[in-house]
Structure 1
Amino acid sequence: MNRKRNLYISIAAASLSALLVYGLYVLQLRQIRFEETISVVVPKRFVAAGERLTADMLSRKQIARASYAPEMLDNPEVVIGMEAVVPLGSGEPLLDWKVDRYRLLPDRRQSTFQIPKPYVLSISNGIRAGDRVVLYVSGPEAESRRLFGEAVTVASVKTSANVEIDNVSNPNLLSLANGDREQMYASRRDANGMIDFINLNLTEEQWLQLDALCKEGESKLVIAYSPESLDIGPAKKEAEITP
Protein backbone atom coordinates (compact mmCIF):
# COMPACT_ATOMS: atom_id res chain seq x y z
CA MET A 1 0.00 0.00 0.00
CA ASN A 2 2.81 2.34 0.95
CA ARG A 3 4.67 1.39 -2.23
CA LYS A 4 1.62 2.27 -4.35
CA ARG A 5 1.19 5.60 -2.52
CA ASN A 6 4.85 6.45 -3.03
CA LEU A 7 4.47 5.63 -6.71
CA TYR A 8 1.52 8.04 -7.00
CA ILE A 9 3.45 10.73 -5.14
CA SER A 10 6.44 10.26 -7.45
CA ILE A 11 4.22 10.49 -10.53
CA ALA A 12 2.53 13.63 -9.19
CA ALA A 13 5.89 15.20 -8.33
CA ALA A 14 7.23 14.38 -11.78
CA SER A 15 4.11 15.85 -13.41
CA LEU A 16 4.40 19.05 -11.35
CA SER A 17 8.09 19.32 -12.22
CA ALA A 18 7.29 18.89 -15.92
CA LEU A 19 4.57 21.55 -15.71
CA LEU A 20 6.96 23.90 -13.91
CA VAL A 21 9.66 23.36 -16.52
CA TYR A 22 7.13 23.88 -19.32
CA GLY A 23 5.82 27.06 -17.65
CA LEU A 24 9.34 28.45 -17.35
CA TYR A 25 9.94 27.55 -21.02
CA VAL A 26 6.81 29.43 -22.11
CA LEU A 27 7.77 32.50 -20.05
CA GLN A 28 11.28 32.50 -21.47
CA LEU A 29 9.92 32.07 -25.00
CA ARG A 30 7.58 35.04 -24.51
CA GLN A 31 10.44 37.13 -23.14
CA ILE A 32 12.63 36.24 -26.11
CA ARG A 33 9.83 37.09 -28.54
CA PHE A 34 9.22 40.40 -26.74
CA GLU A 35 12.90 41.27 -26.94
CA GLU A 36 12.93 40.39 -30.64
CA THR A 37 10.06 42.79 -31.43
CA ILE A 38 9.61 46.53 -31.15
CA SER A 39 6.51 48.73 -30.90
CA VAL A 40 5.90 51.25 -33.71
CA VAL A 41 3.12 53.70 -34.53
CA VAL A 42 0.61 52.68 -37.22
CA PRO A 43 -2.65 54.25 -38.55
CA LYS A 44 -5.83 52.39 -37.58
CA ARG A 45 -7.32 53.14 -41.00
CA PHE A 46 -6.41 54.51 -44.41
CA VAL A 47 -5.35 58.16 -44.16
CA ALA A 48 -5.51 60.37 -47.25
CA ALA A 49 -2.70 62.78 -48.10
CA GLY A 50 -3.27 66.16 -46.46
CA GLU A 51 -5.35 64.70 -43.59
CA ARG A 52 -4.33 65.78 -40.09
CA LEU A 53 -3.59 62.93 -37.66
CA THR A 54 -5.45 62.66 -34.35
CA ALA A 55 -4.99 60.32 -31.36
CA ASP A 56 -7.97 58.11 -32.30
CA MET A 57 -6.43 57.46 -35.75
CA LEU A 58 -3.24 55.92 -34.32
CA SER A 59 -2.27 52.70 -32.53
CA ARG A 60 0.82 50.66 -31.76
CA LYS A 61 1.98 47.50 -33.50
CA GLN A 62 4.70 44.99 -32.58
CA ILE A 63 7.06 44.20 -35.46
CA ALA A 64 10.21 42.08 -35.65
CA ARG A 65 13.25 44.01 -34.49
CA ALA A 66 15.04 42.90 -37.65
CA SER A 67 12.37 44.72 -39.71
CA TYR A 68 12.72 47.98 -37.76
CA ALA A 69 14.10 51.00 -39.66
CA PRO A 70 15.39 54.23 -38.04
CA GLU A 71 12.76 56.35 -39.85
CA MET A 72 9.89 54.43 -38.19
CA LEU A 73 8.09 56.41 -35.47
CA ASP A 74 7.53 54.85 -32.05
CA ASN A 75 5.87 57.69 -30.12
CA PRO A 76 2.23 58.53 -31.03
CA GLU A 77 2.34 61.83 -29.13
CA VAL A 78 4.95 63.17 -31.54
CA VAL A 79 2.72 62.36 -34.53
CA ILE A 80 -0.56 63.85 -33.24
CA GLY A 81 -1.38 67.09 -35.10
CA MET A 82 0.90 66.32 -38.03
CA GLU A 83 -0.34 66.08 -41.61
CA ALA A 84 0.01 63.09 -43.93
CA VAL A 85 2.34 64.02 -46.79
CA VAL A 86 1.42 60.84 -48.72
CA PRO A 87 -1.48 58.38 -48.32
CA LEU A 88 -1.00 56.09 -45.29
CA GLY A 89 -2.17 52.47 -45.29
CA SER A 90 -3.97 50.88 -42.35
CA GLY A 91 -1.53 49.05 -40.04
CA GLU A 92 1.48 50.32 -42.02
CA PRO A 93 4.46 51.46 -39.83
CA LEU A 94 4.56 55.24 -39.89
CA LEU A 95 7.78 56.72 -41.34
CA ASP A 96 8.98 60.19 -40.34
CA TRP A 97 9.14 61.47 -43.94
CA LYS A 98 5.48 60.59 -44.54
CA VAL A 99 4.23 63.20 -42.04
CA ASP A 100 4.99 66.87 -41.48
CA ARG A 101 3.64 69.63 -39.26
CA TYR A 102 3.98 72.73 -41.42
CA ARG A 103 4.33 71.75 -45.08
CA LEU A 104 3.69 75.33 -46.20
CA LEU A 105 7.11 76.48 -45.01
CA PRO A 106 10.08 76.43 -47.41
CA ASP A 107 12.97 74.12 -46.55
CA ARG A 108 16.58 75.20 -46.02
CA ARG A 109 17.25 75.48 -49.75
CA GLN A 110 14.08 77.39 -50.66
CA SER A 111 12.31 80.73 -50.44
CA THR A 112 8.65 81.57 -51.03
CA PHE A 113 8.06 83.39 -54.34
CA GLN A 114 4.82 85.00 -55.51
CA ILE A 115 4.49 84.12 -59.19
CA PRO A 116 3.69 87.29 -61.19
CA LYS A 117 0.27 87.08 -62.80
CA PRO A 118 1.60 87.78 -66.35
CA TYR A 119 3.79 84.66 -65.99
CA VAL A 120 0.76 82.38 -65.58
CA LEU A 121 -1.31 80.94 -68.43
CA SER A 122 -3.53 78.70 -66.29
CA ILE A 123 -3.90 77.24 -62.77
CA SER A 124 -5.77 74.03 -61.95
CA ASN A 125 -9.02 74.64 -60.07
CA GLY A 126 -9.04 73.55 -56.43
CA ILE A 127 -5.33 73.98 -55.68
CA ARG A 128 -4.86 74.92 -52.03
CA ALA A 129 -1.99 75.86 -49.75
CA GLY A 130 0.07 72.76 -48.94
CA ASP A 131 -0.60 71.01 -52.26
CA ARG A 132 2.29 70.08 -54.53
CA VAL A 133 2.02 71.08 -58.16
CA VAL A 134 3.79 70.37 -61.44
CA LEU A 135 4.89 73.32 -63.60
CA TYR A 136 4.82 73.31 -67.42
CA VAL A 137 6.04 75.97 -69.85
CA SER A 138 3.91 76.84 -72.89
CA GLY A 139 4.61 79.33 -75.65
CA PRO A 140 3.96 79.96 -79.36
CA GLU A 141 7.64 79.88 -80.30
CA ALA A 142 8.71 76.80 -78.35
CA GLU A 143 7.49 73.29 -77.67
CA SER A 144 5.54 72.91 -74.43
CA ARG A 145 7.50 71.04 -71.75
CA ARG A 146 7.73 70.32 -68.07
CA LEU A 147 9.79 72.92 -66.23
CA PHE A 148 11.21 71.02 -63.24
CA GLY A 149 11.76 67.33 -62.66
CA GLU A 150 10.07 67.47 -59.25
CA ALA A 151 6.78 68.89 -58.01
CA VAL A 152 6.88 72.06 -55.88
CA THR A 153 4.90 73.06 -52.80
CA VAL A 154 2.18 75.71 -52.85
CA ALA A 155 2.76 78.12 -49.93
CA SER A 156 -0.50 80.04 -50.41
CA VAL A 157 -3.16 81.01 -52.93
CA LYS A 158 -4.67 84.49 -53.18
CA THR A 159 -7.63 86.33 -54.67
CA SER A 160 -7.52 89.14 -57.24
CA ALA A 161 -7.34 91.59 -54.31
CA ASN A 162 -4.09 89.86 -53.27
CA VAL A 163 -5.83 88.57 -50.13
CA GLU A 164 -5.08 85.03 -49.04
CA ILE A 165 -7.98 82.68 -49.67
CA ASP A 166 -9.28 81.97 -46.18
CA ASN A 167 -11.57 79.69 -44.22
CA VAL A 168 -14.68 81.69 -43.27
CA SER A 169 -15.44 79.59 -40.18
CA ASN A 170 -11.84 79.80 -38.94
CA PRO A 171 -10.15 82.94 -40.33
CA ASN A 172 -6.39 82.76 -40.69
CA LEU A 173 -5.89 86.33 -39.37
CA LEU A 174 -7.91 85.59 -36.20
CA SER A 175 -5.78 82.53 -35.50
CA LEU A 176 -2.66 84.60 -36.15
CA ALA A 177 -3.84 87.29 -33.72
CA ASN A 178 -4.49 84.64 -31.07
CA GLY A 179 -1.05 83.13 -31.60
CA ASP A 180 -2.63 79.76 -32.50
CA ARG A 181 -0.27 78.45 -35.13
CA GLU A 182 -2.03 75.10 -35.45
CA GLN A 183 -5.40 76.73 -36.25
CA MET A 184 -3.74 79.28 -38.52
CA TYR A 185 -2.23 76.46 -40.54
CA ALA A 186 -5.51 74.49 -40.55
CA SER A 187 -7.43 77.52 -41.87
CA ARG A 188 -5.02 77.81 -44.80
CA ARG A 189 -5.45 74.12 -45.59
CA ASP A 190 -9.26 74.32 -45.54
CA ALA A 191 -9.53 77.54 -47.56
CA ASN A 192 -11.24 77.53 -50.92
CA GLY A 193 -11.99 80.16 -53.58
CA MET A 194 -11.05 81.60 -56.99
CA ILE A 195 -7.24 81.63 -57.38
CA ASP A 196 -5.68 84.74 -58.88
CA PHE A 197 -2.21 84.71 -57.34
CA ILE A 198 -0.12 81.78 -56.19
CA ASN A 199 2.99 81.57 -53.98
CA LEU A 200 5.40 78.68 -54.48
CA ASN A 201 8.35 77.41 -52.45
CA LEU A 202 11.28 77.35 -54.89
CA THR A 203 15.04 77.16 -54.74
CA GLU A 204 16.98 80.14 -56.04
CA GLU A 205 17.99 78.15 -59.15
CA GLN A 206 14.36 77.22 -59.87
CA TRP A 207 13.17 80.82 -59.56
CA LEU A 208 15.92 82.18 -61.81
CA GLN A 209 15.13 79.55 -64.44
CA LEU A 210 11.40 80.30 -64.25
CA ASP A 211 11.96 84.08 -64.36
CA ALA A 212 14.33 83.86 -67.35
CA LEU A 213 11.74 81.88 -69.33
CA CYS A 214 8.69 84.02 -68.53
CA LYS A 215 9.83 87.63 -68.09
CA GLU A 216 9.82 88.40 -71.84
CA GLY A 217 6.21 87.19 -72.11
CA GLU A 218 6.90 84.63 -74.83
CA SER A 219 6.47 81.67 -72.47
CA LYS A 220 3.91 81.19 -69.71
CA LEU A 221 3.34 78.72 -66.89
CA VAL A 222 0.70 76.05 -66.68
CA ILE A 223 0.35 75.09 -63.01
CA ALA A 224 -1.18 71.62 -62.66
CA TYR A 225 -2.17 69.50 -59.69
CA SER A 226 -1.14 65.88 -60.27
CA PRO A 227 -1.06 62.60 -58.26
CA GLU A 228 2.64 62.60 -59.12
CA SER A 229 2.96 65.44 -56.64
CA LEU A 230 2.45 62.93 -53.80
CA ASP A 231 5.66 61.10 -54.65
CA ILE A 232 7.89 62.53 -51.93
CA GLY A 233 10.84 60.48 -50.72
CA PRO A 234 13.29 60.56 -47.79
CA ALA A 235 15.80 62.69 -49.70
CA LYS A 236 13.26 65.50 -49.82
CA LYS A 237 12.40 65.10 -46.16
CA GLU A 238 16.03 65.38 -45.03
CA ALA A 239 16.14 68.94 -46.35
CA GLU A 240 13.08 70.12 -44.43
CA ILE A 241 13.15 72.03 -41.14
CA THR A 242 10.89 71.47 -38.19
CA PRO A 243 9.68 74.89 -37.04
Structure 2
Amino acid sequence: MISLAAAVLSGLLVYGIYSFQLQQLERQETVRVVVPKRLLPAGARLSADDFEYRAIARSSYDAEQMLLDASQVEGMEAVVPLGQGEPLLLWKIDRFRLMPGSDQSTFQIPREYVLSVSNGIRAGDKVVVYVSGGPTESARLFEDVVTVASVKTSGNVEIDDLSNPNLLSLARGDRERMYASRRDANGMIDYINLNLTEQQWLTIDNLCRTGESKLVIAYSPLSLDVTGAAPEVSGR
Protein backbone atom coordinates (compact mmCIF):
# COMPACT_ATOMS: atom_id res chain seq x y z
CA MET A 1 0.00 0.00 0.00
CA ILE A 2 2.83 2.35 0.89
CA SER A 3 4.57 1.62 -2.41
CA LEU A 4 1.32 2.14 -4.32
CA ALA A 5 0.65 5.45 -2.55
CA ALA A 6 4.20 6.58 -3.25
CA ALA A 7 3.81 5.70 -6.93
CA VAL A 8 0.52 7.65 -7.17
CA LEU A 9 2.02 10.68 -5.42
CA SER A 10 5.07 10.54 -7.71
CA GLY A 11 2.78 10.42 -10.74
CA LEU A 12 0.75 13.39 -9.51
CA LEU A 13 3.92 15.33 -8.82
CA VAL A 14 5.29 14.65 -12.31
CA TYR A 15 1.93 15.60 -13.86
CA GLY A 16 1.78 18.82 -11.80
CA ILE A 17 5.29 19.83 -12.87
CA TYR A 18 4.43 19.03 -16.51
CA SER A 19 1.21 21.11 -16.38
CA PHE A 20 3.04 24.03 -14.77
CA GLN A 21 5.79 23.96 -17.38
CA LEU A 22 3.18 23.73 -20.16
CA GLN A 23 1.32 26.78 -18.84
CA GLN A 24 4.57 28.70 -18.57
CA LEU A 25 5.43 27.75 -22.15
CA GLU A 26 1.97 28.84 -23.39
CA ARG A 27 2.32 32.19 -21.62
CA GLN A 28 5.68 32.71 -23.24
CA GLU A 29 4.37 31.88 -26.72
CA THR A 30 1.11 33.88 -26.60
CA VAL A 31 0.18 37.53 -26.06
CA ARG A 32 -3.16 38.89 -24.80
CA VAL A 33 -4.31 41.63 -27.17
CA VAL A 34 -7.35 43.90 -27.26
CA VAL A 35 -10.29 42.70 -29.42
CA PRO A 36 -13.89 44.00 -29.83
CA LYS A 37 -16.63 42.14 -27.93
CA ARG A 38 -19.03 42.73 -30.85
CA LEU A 39 -19.13 44.24 -34.31
CA LEU A 40 -18.51 47.99 -34.01
CA PRO A 41 -19.55 50.16 -36.99
CA ALA A 42 -17.40 52.87 -38.53
CA GLY A 43 -17.88 56.15 -36.71
CA ALA A 44 -18.76 54.51 -33.38
CA ARG A 45 -17.29 56.26 -30.32
CA LEU A 46 -15.31 53.65 -28.43
CA SER A 47 -15.17 52.71 -24.77
CA ALA A 48 -12.98 50.25 -22.91
CA ASP A 49 -16.17 48.29 -22.12
CA ASP A 50 -16.53 47.50 -25.85
CA PHE A 51 -13.37 45.38 -25.77
CA GLU A 52 -11.94 42.27 -24.18
CA TYR A 53 -8.68 40.33 -24.38
CA ARG A 54 -7.72 37.40 -26.57
CA ALA A 55 -4.52 35.35 -26.59
CA ILE A 56 -2.74 35.15 -29.94
CA ALA A 57 0.56 33.58 -30.98
CA ARG A 58 3.53 35.78 -30.22
CA SER A 59 4.66 35.35 -33.82
CA SER A 60 1.40 37.08 -34.92
CA TYR A 61 1.75 39.99 -32.50
CA ASP A 62 2.43 43.40 -34.10
CA ALA A 63 3.82 45.67 -31.39
CA GLU A 64 3.36 48.81 -33.53
CA GLN A 65 -0.33 48.22 -34.37
CA MET A 66 -1.89 46.00 -31.69
CA LEU A 67 -2.95 47.16 -28.22
CA LEU A 68 -2.45 45.39 -24.89
CA ASP A 69 -4.54 47.78 -22.76
CA ALA A 70 -8.22 48.47 -23.56
CA SER A 71 -8.15 51.79 -21.69
CA GLN A 72 -6.10 53.25 -24.56
CA VAL A 73 -9.16 53.27 -26.86
CA GLU A 74 -11.34 55.35 -24.52
CA GLY A 75 -12.94 58.26 -26.41
CA MET A 76 -11.62 57.29 -29.84
CA GLU A 77 -13.71 56.62 -32.96
CA ALA A 78 -13.70 53.67 -35.34
CA VAL A 79 -12.41 54.68 -38.77
CA VAL A 80 -13.63 51.40 -40.32
CA PRO A 81 -15.95 48.67 -38.98
CA LEU A 82 -14.26 46.60 -36.24
CA GLY A 83 -14.95 42.86 -36.38
CA GLN A 84 -15.82 40.88 -33.28
CA GLY A 85 -12.80 39.02 -31.87
CA GLU A 86 -10.35 40.51 -34.39
CA PRO A 87 -7.18 42.07 -32.91
CA LEU A 88 -7.62 45.86 -32.83
CA LEU A 89 -5.14 47.71 -35.04
CA LEU A 90 -4.20 51.35 -34.43
CA TRP A 91 -4.83 52.43 -38.02
CA LYS A 92 -8.52 51.46 -37.59
CA ILE A 93 -9.16 54.02 -34.83
CA ASP A 94 -8.63 57.75 -34.47
CA ARG A 95 -9.41 60.42 -31.89
CA PHE A 96 -10.17 63.28 -34.27
CA ARG A 97 -11.37 61.85 -37.58
CA LEU A 98 -12.40 65.21 -39.05
CA MET A 99 -9.02 66.79 -38.35
CA PRO A 100 -6.35 66.61 -41.08
CA GLY A 101 -3.56 64.07 -40.67
CA SER A 102 0.00 64.98 -39.84
CA ASP A 103 0.85 65.39 -43.54
CA GLN A 104 -2.45 67.11 -44.47
CA SER A 105 -4.24 70.45 -44.28
CA THR A 106 -7.92 71.33 -44.65
CA PHE A 107 -8.57 73.03 -48.02
CA GLN A 108 -11.78 74.71 -49.11
CA ILE A 109 -12.36 73.76 -52.73
CA PRO A 110 -13.28 76.88 -54.80
CA ARG A 111 -16.78 76.64 -56.28
CA GLU A 112 -15.47 77.32 -59.78
CA TYR A 113 -13.31 74.19 -59.50
CA VAL A 114 -16.32 71.90 -58.98
CA LEU A 115 -18.51 70.47 -61.75
CA SER A 116 -20.68 68.30 -59.48
CA VAL A 117 -20.81 67.04 -55.91
CA SER A 118 -22.89 64.24 -54.38
CA ASN A 119 -25.88 65.66 -52.48
CA GLY A 120 -25.52 62.95 -49.80
CA ILE A 121 -22.05 64.03 -48.67
CA ARG A 122 -21.68 65.03 -45.01
CA ALA A 123 -18.75 65.85 -42.74
CA GLY A 124 -16.70 62.74 -41.94
CA ASP A 125 -17.54 60.96 -45.19
CA LYS A 126 -14.99 59.51 -47.58
CA VAL A 127 -15.16 60.77 -51.16
CA VAL A 128 -13.57 59.91 -54.47
CA VAL A 129 -12.30 62.82 -56.58
CA TYR A 130 -12.45 62.73 -60.38
CA VAL A 131 -11.29 65.26 -62.97
CA SER A 132 -13.48 66.05 -65.98
CA GLY A 133 -12.79 68.09 -69.12
CA GLY A 134 -9.61 69.79 -70.23
CA PRO A 135 -6.86 68.45 -72.47
CA THR A 136 -6.88 64.97 -70.91
CA GLU A 137 -9.54 62.29 -70.59
CA SER A 138 -11.76 62.22 -67.53
CA ALA A 139 -10.18 60.10 -64.81
CA ARG A 140 -9.97 59.40 -61.12
CA LEU A 141 -7.63 61.99 -59.66
CA PHE A 142 -6.34 60.26 -56.51
CA GLU A 143 -6.02 56.55 -55.79
CA ASP A 144 -6.91 57.07 -52.11
CA VAL A 145 -10.26 58.30 -50.86
CA VAL A 146 -10.37 61.75 -49.26
CA THR A 147 -11.98 62.74 -45.94
CA VAL A 148 -14.60 65.51 -45.94
CA ALA A 149 -13.93 68.03 -43.15
CA SER A 150 -17.19 69.98 -43.64
CA VAL A 151 -19.92 70.84 -46.14
CA LYS A 152 -21.68 74.22 -45.95
CA THR A 153 -24.35 76.31 -47.62
CA SER A 154 -23.80 79.78 -49.11
CA GLY A 155 -24.72 81.16 -45.68
CA ASN A 156 -21.73 79.31 -44.14
CA VAL A 157 -24.07 76.92 -42.32
CA GLU A 158 -23.12 73.26 -41.95
CA ILE A 159 -25.52 71.10 -43.95
CA ASP A 160 -27.26 68.76 -41.52
CA ASP A 161 -30.54 67.97 -39.82
CA LEU A 162 -30.39 70.14 -36.68
CA SER A 163 -32.84 67.91 -34.79
CA ASN A 164 -30.87 64.76 -35.65
CA PRO A 165 -27.25 65.60 -36.51
CA ASN A 166 -25.60 63.16 -38.88
CA LEU A 167 -22.28 63.16 -37.03
CA LEU A 168 -23.96 62.32 -33.73
CA SER A 169 -25.75 59.36 -35.29
CA LEU A 170 -22.52 58.30 -37.02
CA ALA A 171 -20.59 58.37 -33.73
CA ARG A 172 -23.28 56.28 -32.04
CA GLY A 173 -23.33 53.78 -34.88
CA ASP A 174 -27.08 54.38 -35.37
CA ARG A 175 -27.53 53.66 -39.07
CA GLU A 176 -31.27 54.33 -39.21
CA ARG A 177 -31.02 57.78 -37.61
CA MET A 178 -27.99 58.62 -39.75
CA TYR A 179 -29.90 57.73 -42.91
CA ALA A 180 -32.90 59.78 -41.73
CA SER A 181 -30.58 62.71 -41.06
CA ARG A 182 -29.24 62.60 -44.62
CA ARG A 183 -32.76 62.49 -46.08
CA ASP A 184 -34.09 65.34 -43.94
CA ALA A 185 -31.07 67.65 -44.22
CA ASN A 186 -31.80 70.78 -46.22
CA GLY A 187 -29.54 73.00 -48.30
CA MET A 188 -27.42 73.00 -51.43
CA ILE A 189 -23.72 72.30 -50.94
CA ASP A 190 -21.90 75.51 -51.85
CA TYR A 191 -18.65 74.95 -49.98
CA ILE A 192 -16.83 71.69 -49.35
CA ASN A 193 -13.66 71.37 -47.28
CA LEU A 194 -11.38 68.38 -47.84
CA ASN A 195 -8.40 67.10 -45.87
CA LEU A 196 -5.62 66.95 -48.47
CA THR A 197 -1.87 66.63 -48.61
CA GLU A 198 0.02 69.55 -50.08
CA GLN A 199 0.70 67.58 -53.26
CA GLN A 200 -2.97 66.71 -53.68
CA TRP A 201 -4.02 70.35 -53.38
CA LEU A 202 -1.34 71.50 -55.85
CA THR A 203 -2.52 68.83 -58.30
CA ILE A 204 -6.10 70.12 -58.05
CA ASP A 205 -5.06 73.76 -58.33
CA ASN A 206 -2.83 73.19 -61.35
CA LEU A 207 -5.60 71.29 -63.17
CA CYS A 208 -8.53 73.57 -62.38
CA ARG A 209 -7.25 77.15 -62.12
CA THR A 210 -7.55 77.75 -65.87
CA GLY A 211 -11.17 76.60 -65.86
CA GLU A 212 -10.63 73.88 -68.48
CA SER A 213 -10.83 71.00 -66.01
CA LYS A 214 -13.30 70.60 -63.14
CA LEU A 215 -13.80 68.20 -60.26
CA VAL A 216 -16.49 65.61 -59.71
CA ILE A 217 -16.69 64.71 -56.01
CA ALA A 218 -18.48 61.41 -55.40
CA TYR A 219 -19.57 59.69 -52.20
CA SER A 220 -17.45 56.61 -51.47
CA PRO A 221 -18.72 53.19 -50.31
CA LEU A 222 -15.91 53.24 -47.73
CA SER A 223 -18.10 55.63 -45.74
CA LEU A 224 -20.84 54.14 -43.58
CA ASP A 225 -23.29 53.64 -46.46
CA VAL A 226 -26.55 52.42 -44.98
CA THR A 227 -28.62 52.43 -48.15
CA GLY A 228 -26.48 50.23 -50.35
CA ALA A 229 -27.11 52.68 -53.20
CA ALA A 230 -25.10 55.50 -54.70
CA PRO A 231 -26.24 58.97 -53.60
CA GLU A 232 -27.74 61.42 -56.05
CA VAL A 233 -25.34 63.74 -57.87
CA SER A 234 -26.39 67.28 -58.68
CA GLY A 235 -24.82 69.51 -61.32
CA ARG A 236 -23.17 72.74 -60.17
TM-score bracket relative to the smaller structure: 0.7 to 0.9
In terms of mean alpha carbon deviation, does 142-151 or 130-139 score higher? 142-151
CA distance in 1: counterparts of 2:159 and 2:74, whole angstroms:
26
What residue is the counterpart of 1:69 in the other structure? 62
Give deviations 1:223-243, integer Å, cap 9, x for gaps: 01223679xxxxxxxxxxxxx
Give deviations 1:123-178, integer Å, cap 9, x for gaps: 1232222222110011276421111222221111112311223563588xxxxxxx
TM-score (norm 1): 0.76
What residue is the counterpart of 2:117 in the other structure? 123
Amino acid at match of 1:84: A
Shift of 1:80: 2.3
CA distance in 1: counterparts of 2:206 and 2:130, whole angstroms:
14
CA distance in 2: counterparts of 1:133 and 1:35, whole angstroms:
45
2:152 aligned with 1:148: no
Task: Determine which of 67, 79, 87 is the counterpart of 2:81.
Answer: 87
Task: Determine which of 17, 42, 51 is the counterpart of 1:24.
Answer: 17
**SS at 1:221's partner residue?**
strand
**SS at 2:218's partner residue?**
strand
2:52 aligned with 1:97: no
Q: Percent identity?
A: 65
CA RMSD of aligned residues (A): 2.9
Q: Structure 2 regions of 5+ residues with no counterpart? A: 173-177, 225-236
Q: What is the aligned length?
A: 212
**SS at 2:67's partner residue?**
coil
Task: Determine which of 25, 33, 39 is the counterpart of 2:32.
Answer: 39
Give deviations 1:170-202, integer Å, cap 9, x for gaps: 88xxxxxxxxxxx8x969xx7753433110111
Q: Structure 1 regions of 5+ residues with no counterpart? A: 1-7, 172-182, 231-243
Give deviations 1:97-142, integer Å, cap 9, x for gaps: 1111112111232211111122212212322222221100112764
CA distance in 2: counterparts of 1:220 and 1:138, whole angstroms:
5
What residue is the counterpart of 1:174 in the other structure? none
Shift of 1:94: 0.7
| Bigger Rg, which one | 1
What residue is the counterpart of 2:126 in the other structure? 132
What residue is the counterpart of 1:241 in the other structure? none
Amino acid at match of 2:49: D
TM-score (norm 2): 0.78
What residue is the counterpart of 1:78 in the other structure? 72
**SS at 2:148's partner residue?**
strand
